[in-house]
Amino acid sequence: MAKSYTQYICQDCGYSNPRYLGRCPNCGNWDTMAEERIEKSSPSSSASSARFNATSVPRPIQDIHSDEEKRMQLKHQEFSRVLGGGLVPGSINLIGGDPGIGKSTLLLQIALEIAENETVLYVSGEESERQIKMRADRLQRDQDGKVHPLMRKGESEYKDNSMSNPSLSSVQLIELMHKHPKVIERPIVVFKDKAIIGRPPENVLNLI
């Protein structure tokens, strides 16, 4: 029997929360949370009663081989480091964290990277197809290199925080710019959903 519940979904970035929020904690925009009803199917009794059957016998530890597993190297260096040097094919990894911390964004970013060479099946138990599509479109737009021109690359903070790392998305770069405002090139002119350096003044004409 299908069950339904209410989620408030940001219409700008796809962030969801069970309660209404005046400001989206993910993208920071105001009055973008809209109420949506989510249908969720309950697991079948046969699936819930399934059991994993396997036989195992005790073995001396010296007889157990610990050969290094072949790992998939990812552009996201910090994520690869946490996994011990890369993603092991066939492994199961549990990613945990507080709501809104960016788990879905990170995993979709990794999925899009792997999908460049492999087939990826992305399964979600909460987010709608529309939410996933909105986030994927935003992440793919982030790869266009629109943020780096807005940064002062000669500052020590830019180098110390590896802001030139190509695996960083625009969302991550903007967070770093907010944390280290010294790297922000000035003046920046913002018009609708675009931004550009206001030097020389003629650059502003490209936004109009």
Domains along the chain?
145-208 (3.40.30.10)
What is the C-alpha separation between 169 and 192, in angstroms, rounded? 20
Q: pLDDT (tens digit, 9 = 90+) per residue, 75-118?
A: 777 888 888 888 888 888 888 888 888 888 888 888 888 888 88
Share of the chain above pLDDT 90, in %: 1
For 79, 163, 179, the CA distances from 103, given in Å and listed in that order, are: 12, 21, 20
Tokens representing 130 are: 């529309």
pLDDT digits (tens, 9 = 90+) for 106-128: 888 888 888 888 888 998 888 88
Q: What is the pLDDT of residue 86?
A: 86
User: How far is CA 169 from its chain centroid?
Assistant: 9
Which candidate, 101, 106, 104, 103, places its Cα nearest to that of 168?
106
